[in-house]
Amino acid sequence: MNLNDDLPKEILNKVYEAIEVARKTGKIKKGSNEVTKTIERGIAKLVAVAKDTDPKEVIMHFPALCKEKNIPLAVVPSKEELGATAGLPVKTAAVAIIQEGDAKKLINDIASKLEKQNG
């Protein structure tokens, strides 16, 4: 997935829903440093990064890392919305779901839709 790609609204809504469900019933990591560690360890189930992150260098490594570790990556439009969805009072560039909780089916659905979209 390219960092400039826009997700279809249907997938975007599912990504936000999965993050909220996992936040309540599983476990998530927030912030680009924490998320990078979860990807490198291979424990992330789904990674969401904000397209409006500045500087872009903060998130540029995510597509290659996620591809290498076979972790689905969703690019969302805004840090503000991503932070709010993750239950934060501040913006965040990245969120990783590391324990799905009740979001397992949602994550599988998102992963297969992202795969189809990316060919």
**What confidence tens digit (pLDDT) does each residue in 11-66 have?**
999 999 999 999 999 999 999 999 999 999 999 999 999 999 999 999 999 999 99
What are the DSSP calls for 49-83, one per residue? EETT-SSGGGTTTHHHHHHHHT--EEEES-HHHHH
Instruction: Answer yes or no: is 26 within a domain.
Output: yes
Instruction: Answer yes or no: is 27 within a domain.
Output: yes
Instruction: Answer yes or no: is 4 within a domain.
Output: no
Contact partners, residue 93, CB within 8 Å, separation at least 6 = 31, 32, 49, 50, 53, 58, 59, 79, 82
Instruction: Answer yes or no: is 2 within a domain.
Output: no
| The pair of three-digit structure tokens given for residue 26, joined into one six-digit string | 């599983």
| pLDDT on residue 30 | 97
Domain that includes residue 90, residue range: 9-117
Please state the domain count of the chain.
Answer: 1
Place of tokens 């990556």: 73
Instruction: Answer yes or no: is 16 within a domain.
Output: yes
| pLDDT on residue 1 | 60
| pLDDT on residue 102 | 97
Residue 2 has pLDDT above 90, yes or no: no
C-alpha dihedral over 67, 92, 81, 89, to 10 degrees?
150
| pLDDT on residue 20 | 97
| pLDDT on residue 117 | 82
Instruction: Answer yes or no: is 46 within a domain.
Output: yes
| pLDDT on residue 41 | 97
Interior/surface letters 83-98, b for 16+ CB within 10 angstroms, e for the rest: bbbbebeebbbbbbbb
We report the CATH number of the domain holding residue 73 as 3.30.1330.30
Instruction: Answer yes or no: is 58 within a domain.
Output: yes
69-99: per-residue pLDDT in tens? 999 999 999 999 999 999 999 999 999 999 9
Contact partners, residue 7, CB within 8 Å, separation at least 6 = 15, 74, 75, 76, 117
Instruction: Answer yes or no: is 109 within a domain.
Output: yes
